[in-house]
Amino acid sequence: MAHHCWMIDSFVEMADRRAIIYRDNLYSYTDLYKRINHYIQIIGKSGIKSGSVVAINSDYTFEAIALFFALAENQNIIVPIITTAPEEIANRIESAEVDWIFTTEDGEFRGRKLQFQGDSQKHDYISRLVSEKKSGLVLFSSGSTGKPKAMLHDLDRLMDGYRGKKQKEINTLIFLTFDHIGGIDTMLRIFSIGGTITIPASRQPEEISRLIEKHLVNVLPSSPTFLNLLLLSGLHHKYDLSSLKIIAFGAEPMPESLLLRLRKIFPNIELQQKFGTSETNAIKVTSRSNDSLFMKFDDPNLEHKVIDGELWLKSKTQVLGYLNASMESFTEDGWFKTGDLVETSEDGYIKIIGRNKEIINVGGEKVLPSEVESVLLEMDEFSDVMVFGEENQITGQSVAVEVVPKTEIDKREAKKAIRRFCKDKLDSYKIPTKITIVDQTNFGDRFKKIRRR
Amino acid sequence: MKNQIEAIIIEALQDLNDDIESESLENPTKETKIFGEEGALDSLALVSLISDLEEAIHDDFGKEVTLADEKAMSQHRSPFGSVESLTEYIELLIKE
């Protein structure tokens, strides 16, 4: 035995325990182990060298996961790409300097060598990883503007962070995607404790609710945007979600009003706040209490500080660097400026209140979209809202909002209702001056609101 | 057209007045001052008014106009002084 990738060895010990539920099929750790070995052979036969950069064009599937571990074993740099848009794929191949790409048509993956990249000199960060004989992982930021940033992680070091965890039989739905640090974290964490991951065919409330009922899912990691959609759909009445013990949320600030609604509707489920960034991986946090959004970092591998209201992090598992962008969000001594704005309490807890790029500057007054959204979500008229800044010639920027009405409402009435409702709840500069009625707010594949337009 | 524009402005001012509660905006007329000297609106209310008007003009006349831009700001006499001056300015923009 003794594989380069220690997790593969641990799969042997877990034997018959359920590792993956995919398309309603159950796969044990032995099934996974066998499939990994199958792909290790394919990789050998194809002549893929250690240190090559290899893309997997797929979201989570049983096969893709087996291939992922086989490539880690072969000390490759893995690039999960879930998009199917040819141009997006081409961009990622170029940014990550991909040598091989695995695609699937009938379930089984096949590798193809990309000729044009050849054996030209790799980026310094990649060369360093290769010379240390380590596996790597390239993830792309969901950056709201410009080209996605390709960031390189030391995958061996990332996996080492999951060693020695207590074994637990738990079924977790893998909500985030294969190319997202949160999705990778869920997979590695659950495999390290011998638990089960349930892979959804889509991330719509119906499919997620169905899977929770059918496979008795215990943990649902998600985002506030998704949870709001779930409540809105009313599907929590149709399906039996009583197997759920934990609903975890992260990726964007949680509106206080939504947290309160969730607490009321799911009194027996623990609502757990998560925090992490693509640059640092998930970070262990503890909330002050069940209904508080204040949290404390509880991670021996992490240091943090708050500079001018912005959260700075330094973590042992942080990225080696960006392959296609400058390192300006890192200081010379290795601090990562997260861009997240936080509020600090006297007893040392912090709360994420927004992204500094999303701050709306109304004639010099700063407005956080999440604060306004939280107030508007208390209104009976709307099921979802999204606040963003809009340029104007008078105050520089002003607060604009898109609202999803519950029942048909006249635009003029909607405006009046909003102004009336906000009047004694928000400073006047925070009250939206432009209101648009939409069918759905703009959120991405990751169920996170996209505010810059 | 003038009357229609004036009616749009007056209606928008009345809507806004739900919040501002200014006496001069209870029954706005042609002479009602909007912004600047003796104007009843502050800059935020003006931003709201402009956004309301731009929408109403689009709905009623099918035309996208930008009320507050370089051009409006550089007018010798501010178009936002009174209901009358704003009516004239909007008419100008619609006819463009």
pLDDT tens digit sequence for A55-72: 999 999 999 999 999 999
Q: Inspect the interface and report whether the beta carbons of B47 and A394 lie closer than 8 Å.
A: yes
The top-level CATH class assigned to A359-437 is alpha beta
> Does residue A348 or residue A443 have the better pLDDT?
A348
Residue A90 burial class via C-beta count within 10 angstroms: exposed 0-12, middle 13-18, buried 19 and up? exposed
pLDDT of residue A145: 53
Residue B74, pLDDT > 80, answer no
Q: Is B7 on the interface with A (CB under 8 A)?
A: no
% of chain A residues with pLDDT over 70: 97
Residues A242-262: pLDDT tens digits?
999 999 998 788 888 889 999
Query: What mean pLDDT comes out for the span A175-183?
Result: 92
pLDDT of residue A311: 95
Residue B73, pLDDT > 80, answer no
Q: Name the residue among B46, B55, B70 with its Cβ closest to that of A394.
A: B46
Q: Chain B residue closest to A429 (CA)?
A: B44
From chain B, pick out residues whose CB is under 8 angstroms from the CB of A415.
15, 52
% of chain A residues with pLDDT over 90: 66
pLDDT of residue A452: 58
Provide the residue ranges of all domains of chain A, joining segments of one domain with +. Answer: 6-160, 359-437
The predicted complex's ipTM stands at 0.82
What are residue A404's DSSP bridge partners? A384
Which residue segments constitute the domains of chain B, with CATH numbers given? 2-95 (1.10.1200.10)
Q: What is the average pLDDT score of chain A?
A: 91
Query: What mean pLDDT comes out for the span A385-392?
Result: 91
Contact map slice: B 39-58 vs A, CB within 8 A: 42-44, 46-48, 50-52, 55
Query: What mean pLDDT comes out for the span A430-438?
Result: 91
Rounded CA-CA distance A225/A449 in Å is 7
Q: How far is B95 from chain A (nearest CA, A)?
A: 22
Q: Which CATH number fits domain A6-160: 3.40.50.12780, 3.40.640.10, 3.40.50.150, 3.40.50.300?
A: 3.40.50.12780
- Is residue A387 within 8 Å of A349, Cβ to Cβ? no
Residue A158, pLDDT > 80, answer yes
pLDDT of residue A393: 79
Q: Is A414 on the interface with B (CB under 8 A)?
A: no
Residues A324-341: pLDDT tens digits?
888 989 999 999 999 999
Q: Inspect the interface and report whether the beta carbons of A395 and B44 lie closer than 8 Å.
A: yes
Q: Inspect the interface and report whether the beta carbons of B44 and A434 lie closer than 8 Å.
A: no
Residues A22-40: pLDDT tens digits?
999 999 999 999 999 999 9
